[in-house]
Structure 1
Amino acid sequence: MLTLLGGIALLVLGYFTYGRYIEKNFTIETDRPTPADTLRDGYDFVPMPKWKNAIIQLLNIAGTGPIFGPIMGALYGPVAYIWIIFGAIFAGAVHDYMIGMISLRNNGAHLPELASKYLGKPVKHVVNIFTMLLLLLVGTVFVTSPASLIKSFTPSWMTVGMITGLIFIYYIISTILPIDKALGKVYPLFGAILIISTIAIGSSLLIGDHSIPNLTAGSLTNWHPDGTPVFPIMFFTISCGAISGFHATQSPMVSRTSTNEREGRFTFYGMMIAEGVIAMIWAAAAMSLFDGQTLSQMIASGTPSVVVNQVSILLLGNVLGTVAIFGVIVLPLSSGLSAFRSLRTILADYVHIKQDTLKKILMLTIPLYVVSFGLTQIDFNLLWRYFNWANQVTAVISLLVATRYLYLKGKNYFVTLIPATFMLYAVVVYIFSQPIGFGLGLGTLTYVLSVILTLGIIGVFWRSGKVQKNDLSPESDLLNDHLIPDNVATDTVG
């Protein structure tokens, strides 16, 4: 119990201390006009109040990640707490804040455009591929996971496939609506359900007769029943609760609706901290109610949704437990919708099709949903593994963009370079060692090759940054945050 309460306290303290430092290091300009005003179009660029932007950001970035990830991460024992706490404060929240604020300074540009500007145009194509792949996987994963949860409340004749189809219909309808109608009207209700259900689960866990594992010298070991190593697997399993590249695809959406830079710390940094709190509660619940072997068997029997059902019912009973399950359902529904909305706008920017008519919106939207529906037929656990790797590669790219931005500005860039280097090493070890990559296993060869490749990539990144900075003139838009003139798609269709 002490570790859970202490961890939550550290997360909150991190928001008020390190979060304030990150804001100061970025140097906000409270009188600077935002894209919501300068590019207002009544669809994607719409001014919205701070509280509504924060709720949208939380629901956009959360999905099932801060619940499913910590549930599977609970297999490693209390060591999972460390990654959630310090990952959220020093990596994830910094990542979300920097991309959100850099986007705010650049017409609400998405990650591929930002990578093109700060890392070089050739990088744009690579980042576009990774970002669109990630969003397609996210959208698919966040369709299959709520479908599995909803199935437990429906008659036997209603199949998971039918529920999946209904979710896609909801997504299509919501995608063609302006953001203040599609998200601004519904998300406050979804947010209320999420907050109430999270508080209910956490309170029941604390006041009930449950033995919540604490982090001690004796428990600081790998509890995984299959002996799966902590590094690097746990750092991919628990992503949304600590650091997630998916968030870099969502923050620009809210940067297009924010009205003042002073909102950034609460909206971007603060909502990642809130996600860390959610992750702490669900990791503690999974550890407290089930031993590792039982938890592993439950996850293997289907998806972590099985554990969500059991945790909710055991802690809250049938009625309140059902409400809590609905609180979990709204997360992937909202994040899945946001993933497809971001995917459409990124693709539109890339192929230069302005999204100003229903025909042009559907021209890009329908094919994306068709591909995603096909992916729902693939095993969830296989999708999750590919999602995890693509997710953390995107996080590395985002942190490198933020590092270059701070370096060119003469700011403290170590706040992003350090987590970028750590996550890059984890990504390289993962792809060398795992079956979805080179399958070398976790041995000396993998670790040595990973160190060499990581240092090589960082070396190239550092050298290109020095060249870029030496070639800059005082009037360069890289130094003065001039808006990117072509980041909003232009019409090339008849």
Structure 2
Amino acid sequence: MITFFVCLALLIVGFLVYGKLVEKVFHIDDRQTPAVAHPDGVDYVPMKTWRIFLVQLLNIAGLGPIYGAIAGACWGPVVYLWIVFGTILGGGVHDFLSGMMSERNDGKSISEIVGLYMGKVITFIMRVFSVVLLVMVGVNFAKGPADLLARLTPDALNGTFWLAVVLLYYLAATFLPIDKIVGKLYPIFGICLIIMAIGVGGATLITSGADMPELGAASLSAVHPAGTPKWAMMFVTVACGAVSGFHATQSPMMARCITSEKEGRTVFYGAMVAEGIIALIWAAAGVTFYTHGGSLLDGMAGLSGAISAQGQGGVVYDICTTLLGPVGGVLAMIGVIACPITSGDTAFRSARLTIADWFHIDQSDTKKRAMLAVPLLAVGAIIVVALPWEVLWRYFSWSNQTLAMIVLWTGGVFLYRFGFPPIACLMAALPATFMTAVSVTYFFQAPECLNLSTSIAYPVGIVVAVALLILFCVKTFGSKKSNDLRSAQSK
């Protein structure tokens, strides 16, 4: 219990202290935001800060901080460290930079932002990569909630029925102006999500607080029941609760709605910290729920077995109904269902905007908007029927962290080119280096990728990460051309 509260306090202090430092380093000013400069009534729509915060939280907090945290709890309380420090030093910086870089470039999609600072080749790669990732996210976040809804309704309303309903809703949310569905419903769902997290966290502390594992030598050395190594598998499994590239595709949508740069820390960094708190609660609940007075290893084994038998959705259902009772369980499940749905629809919306930015298609035109929205949802429907959910989720996890790596490197280049000091650039470059090591190592060791031994994957991941950090320092700090460009752009 002590470990949980210390980690919770660190997340809050991280927002107040490190988030403020990131904001100060970025040098926010009073320039007109895109929403104020040219509102279009569709995507560029000024909204209040509290509403944008809740929309951003729902955009980024899909199944990831719940399912990922539960799966991450199979490594024991060591996962708390990744959630806390990943959120403060990596995820918060990533989300803030992706949102504010977009805001300072007229609300452009993240693929266009990366292209501006990383070159034409990476622009094309990012455009394709972003659209594929977003469709995969939308597909993943359609299947999961459909199955959960099927568990709460009569047998006649099965998973297929709810999948069709979810996809039809996605079409409406992708097509309509952002303030018609997203801006009105998301704050309500955001409040439900927060209440659900508080309910599960509070019930865990009250009913099983004594069983809540603490960080110590034994817990740090505890191994996954299935023998899955911590590095780099845990850092990819728990993505949305610590560092997630998907967030970079969502932040530009809110960058088109903020009315002042001063809102950036609350909307982007703050929503990431809120998601980290949600992930921390579910990670703690996951392993504690299955301990029942036994040892930490018993709890980890029980959680791992439950996931294998009924999936993360079944684990969520059991935890909610057991801790909160039937009524509370249903309320909690609504929160869990709302999370993925409200990330899935904005994933397809982001895909539409990415393609529109790519081909310069005016989205204030209803027909042109429909021309992109309908085919995207049709492709998503085909994919969700054709491929198993487990396969989709594994590939999404790796591509998610790879995108985070690219965005963090882009943030480092952005900061340097616009006159920020080297220490500020390293605030992005160092987590980018870490995420490079994670992504490369995972690609070499994961069963769905190259499936090589850790003796190969570990050194390759470290060498590539260090090499890119050296290259970054040479190309930015040591290049005369870069220094000249930096001097010109900082004036």
TM range (shorter): over 0.9
Change (3 A) 1:472 1:333: same
Give the letter aligned to residue 420 of structure 2. Answer: G
Query: Alpha-carbon deviation of 1:471?
Result: 4.6
* 1:370 equivalent in alignment to 2:378: yes
Change (3 A) 1:293 1:414: same
Q: How does 1:197-216 map to 2 (within 5 A)?
A: 197-210=196-209, 211-216=211-216
Corresponding residue of 1:280? 280
Q: How does 1:30-429 map to 2 (within 5 A)?
A: 31-210=30-209, 211-290=211-290, 291-377=299-385, 378-408=387-417, 409-411=419-421, 412-429=424-441
Query: Alpha-carbon deviation of 1:181?
Result: 1.2
CA distance in 1: counterparts of 2:6 and 2:147, whole angstroms: 33
Aligned with 1:220: secondary structure? helix
Give the letter aligned to residue 352 of structure 2. Answer: R
Structure number with higher helix proportion: 2
* Alignment RMSD: 1.5
CA distance in 1: counterparts of 2:222 and 2:142, whole angstroms: 32
CA contact (8 A) 1:303 1:381 kept: no
CA contact (8 A) 2:244 2:400 kept: yes
Query: Alpha-carbon deviation of 1:435?
Result: 2.8
Aligned with 1:73: secondary structure? helix
Moved more, 366-375 or 327-336: 366-375
Q: 1:457 aligns with which of 468, 483, 487?
A: 468
Give the letter aligned to residue 168 of structure 1. Answer: L
Query: Alpha-carbon deviation of 1:229?
Result: 0.4
Normalised by the size of structure 2, how large is the TM-score?
0.94
Corresponding residue of 2:293? none
CA contact (8 A) 1:434 1:441 kept: no
Corresponding residue of 1:489? none
CA contact (8 A) 1:223 1:292 kept: no
Query: Alpha-carbon deviation of 1:117?
Result: 1.1
CA distance in 2: counterparts of 1:114 and 1:392, whole angstroms: 18
Aligned with 2:429: secondary structure? helix
Give deviations 1:415-436, integer Å, cap 9, x for gaps.
1111100110111111111233
Aligned with 1:43: secondary structure? coil
CA distance in 1: counterparts of 2:274 and 2:25, whole angstroms: 22
Corresponding residue of 2:457? 446
Moved more, 371-380 or 381-390: 371-380
* 1:12 equivalent in alignment to 2:25: no
Corresponding residue of 2:296? none
Query: Alpha-carbon deviation of 1:231?
Result: 0.4
CA distance in 2: counterparts of 1:307 and 1:147, whole angstroms: 16
Query: Alpha-carbon deviation of 1:356?
Result: 2.2
Q: Which runs of 5+ in 1 are unaligned?
A: 481-494
Query: Alpha-carbon deviation of 1:302?
Result: 4.3
CA distance in 2: counterparts of 1:360 and 1:467, whole angstroms: 45
Change (3 A) 1:320 1:130: same
Give the letter aligned to residue 330 of structure 2. Answer: T
Give deviations 1:310-341, integer Å, cap 9, x for gaps.
01011101111110110111100100011010
CA distance in 2: counterparts of 1:345 and 1:222, whole angstroms: 44
Corresponding residue of 1:485? none
CA distance in 2: counterparts of 1:344 and 1:202, whole angstroms: 37
CA distance in 2: counterparts of 1:124 and 1:460, whole angstroms: 19
Give deviations 1:182-215, integer Å, cap 9, x for gaps.
2111111111211111111111111224411111
CA contact (8 A) 1:78 1:214 kept: yes
CA contact (8 A) 1:55 1:188 kept: yes
Corresponding residue of 1:3? 3
Q: Which runs of 5+ in 2 are unaligned?
A: 291-298
CA distance in 2: counterparts of 1:451 and 1:308, whole angstroms: 35
Q: Give the aligned length.
A: 476
Change (3 A) 1:386 1:473: closer
CA contact (8 A) 1:222 1:230 kept: no
Q: 1:436 aligns with which of 422, 433, 448?
A: 448
CA distance in 2: counterparts of 1:222 and 1:391, whole angstroms: 27
CA distance in 2: counterparts of 1:393 and 1:323, whole angstroms: 35
Moved more, 347-356 or 4-13: 347-356
CA distance in 1: counterparts of 2:21 and 2:198, whole angstroms: 29
